[in-house]
Amino acid sequence: MKKLMAVCAAILATVGSAHAEIRGTYVEARTCDVYTGPCFANADTALGGKHAVLAWKVESGEFGNVRLDGLGVVAVVATRETLGLKQTLPSKAVLIVDAQADAQQRQALIEFAKTQTGGLLDHIIDVKSAAIDVEVCECKGNSCFRMNAGDARIETKCLDEHYDKACGNESAYYPPLSANVQARPAMTVEHSFIGKAFNETWRDTARRGAYVGSFLVR
């Protein structure tokens, strides 16, 4: 009888995890235009776009059977190549994990971020804890976001269909760096990192270099 109950419990756990999902807000900024024309992108190759900040703020759901409602995780990435192209050199990453997360949730958030970014976060050189605040403001197109997490900051606004075009052939040239997101390009008001882990900092402004939207992982 005990064996039968154990088998039933295992089946129920498997079914529950199969239907588990996690959803929330996503924002990303890079030091190159992601909304651009091919000629501008080619000019940036190997020169710009080597730094990025990615942020996931969970609305509801679980990962690895750990509830993560209301928590967030931020990845700060630095590499010697333009992100979004085929990477031949390893990148370095700093993770900022929500200060409200307990030990189990902290590890789940780290693993979640890693699974959403391919090998981009294979070389994590530091993990920090901080409050992660993500605010969605009202504007046409709903592309106004503010994200603050320790040493990292992103602020975006809507792209203007007239004033923010340079060549008239723009598109979302570089896709988002995270999987399972529905995101649209946005204008970067500020994208910065002032930490010491990389022995370099950056502050990027007034660039068509952000993505904002949501994520859903089933």
Exposed/middle/buried for 76, CB within 10 Å: 0-12, 13-18, 19+?
buried
Range 116-145 average pLDDT: 88
Cβ atoms of 59 and 22 within 8 Å: the answer is: no
- How does residue 140 score in pLDDT terms, banded at 50, 70 and 90? low
Round to whole Å and give the CA distance between 34 and 172: 6
Lowest mean pLDDT among 89-93, 110-114, 189-193, 211-215: 89-93
pLDDT more than 90, % of the chain: 72
CA distances from 48 to 34, 58, 82, 114 (A): 11, 30, 6, 24
Q: Average model confidence (pLDDT) for the chain?
A: 88
Say yes or no to pLDDT of 2 above 60.
no
Other beta carbons within 10 Å of 3: 7
pLDDT value at residue 46: 74
Q: Is the pTM of this model over 0.85?
A: yes
Tell me the domain boundaries of the chain.
23-217
Torsion angle (degrees, nearest 10) of CA 50, 214, 181, 35: -50
- For residues 116-128, give the mean pLDDT: 96
**Cα angle 67-183-18, degrees, rounded to a multiple of 5:** 35
Choose between 164 and 146: higher pLDDT. 146
24-51 pLDDT, tens per residue?
999 999 999 999 988 778 777 778 899 9
Nearest to residue 29, comparing CAs of 204, 194, 215? 204
Q: What is the pLDDT of residues 46-102, one digit of tens each?
A: 788 999 999 999 999 999 999 999 999 999 999 999 998 777 778 999 999 999 999
